[in-house]
Every structure is written in C-alpha cells, then in structure tokens.
Amino acid sequence: MSLNSNQALAAPPQAMKVSESTPKDPATIPAHPSIKFFSHTLTIELDFAPKIGQEPTDISSIVAILPEYTNIATSVRFSIRDVPPAMNTREDHFKRIEAIKSIILQLNRIREIRHFQAKMLIDTHNFVQMKLMADLHGLVFNKWTLAMVVVGEPIKNVEKDSAIEKRLRGV
C-alpha cells in the first residue's frame, strides 16, 4: 500500500528519524558538476568566474543536494573561485555572500565532520574577494583550515589570529 502526500506528511516522527540517521548510498545521490564525493570526503567547488561558454555554479542546486551527504561525509574540501575585482559589482558580491551563507547552513547539518579545508582562489591580493570566506566563522565545528591561492603564487595558509583571519572575523 502506498501513502498519499497527506499520509506521508503525517508519518510518525520516529519513522522519519530512522531515515534521517540511516547512511545514504553515495551512488544514489544525483550527480552535480560542483560536488564530488569519495571515501567520505565531500568536495565542493564554487566557480563564480566561469570561462567563456561555461555557466556559473548553480548554488540552489548545491544547497538542495547537500542534505544527502549529512550522514556520510566526514571530511569537506570547499573551494571558491571569485570574479576579478574589475568585473565585480557590489550587488553580485552580496548575492555570492548570501549563497555562501546558505551553503554553510547546510554544511553545519553534517554530523561527523572531522576535517574541513577551505581554499579561496583569487587573481590578486584583494580582501573584498577574501570576504566570501568570512562566513566560515559560522561553522559549528572549529577544526577547519583556510588557504588563499593567488594566481601565480604559492598557496598561503591563513593562520588563526593572522591579520587576514582577524579581518575575516571582523576584529
């Protein structure tokens, strides 16, 4: 016997808890070009500066899929590539900040995060671009690292209490 939508909504809370806590088979999760999953590591790559002919990352579809990883991800790799400052509008920048906030909200629902690595890819030393990572301070788990990748330069880790990290925190 199948349930109609009203009966499904009226399902007892304990029945819903079982399905929420049951690990999902990663093979059943819809593919997304910005998300990869391997060996309990969830990789999210946001590209707000796509090459000519490519589409920018669709944030709403990422936010819709992230709950599927709630019970199976233990490590997250999160990277953002932002548009060059000359091509950035204030309105678009704030839209991207809201997009990051919605992703952080979903990531906070992942139960067993043991490691979180964030990487910001920028084309110059531009703090406005780095501000997209400020919402990492909203993560409920605190074992995360942030690296800054400036085109043509080696990767730089953003250390806790460094000048950049303090600016991101608003200190």
- Token code pair at residue 50: 């796509």
Calpha distance 127→167 (Å, rounded): 9
Taking CA atoms, 27 is separated from 22, 23, 37, 78, in Å, by: 15, 12, 10, 21
Tens digits of residue pLDDT in 16-67: 344 455 667 888 999 999 999 999 999 999 988 878 888 878 899 999 999 9
Tell me, rounded to whole angstroms, the distance of Cα 96 from its chain centroid: 12
87: CB partners within 8 A, 6+ apart:
49
Positions of E strands within 41-122: 41-47, 75-81, 115-122
Going edge to edge, which strands form the sheet with 144-150? Answer: 35-38, 41-47, 75-81, 115-122, 144-150, 156-158
- Is residue 9 over pLDDT 50? no
Q: Which residue is listed with tokens 């599927």?
A: 68
Tens digit of each residue's pLDDT (9 = 90 or more) over 69-98: 989 999 999 999 888 877 888 898 888 889
Name the pTM for this structure. Answer: 0.77
Pair 56, 50: CB distance under 8 Å = yes
d(CA 79, CA 112): 20
pLDDT at 6 over 60: no
Residue 97 token pair = 């900040």
Tell me which residue has tokens 């109609």.
4
Q: What is the pLDDT of residues 103-147, one digit of tens each?
A: 999 999 988 888 899 998 887 777 777 878 888 878 887 778 888
Beta strand ranges found along the chain (DSSP E): 35-38, 41-47, 75-81, 115-122, 144-150, 156-158
From 136, 147, 131, 130, select the one nearest 108 (Cα to Cα): 136
Longest dimension (CA), the chain: 62
Residues 60 and 99: their CA atoms lie apart, in Å, by 8
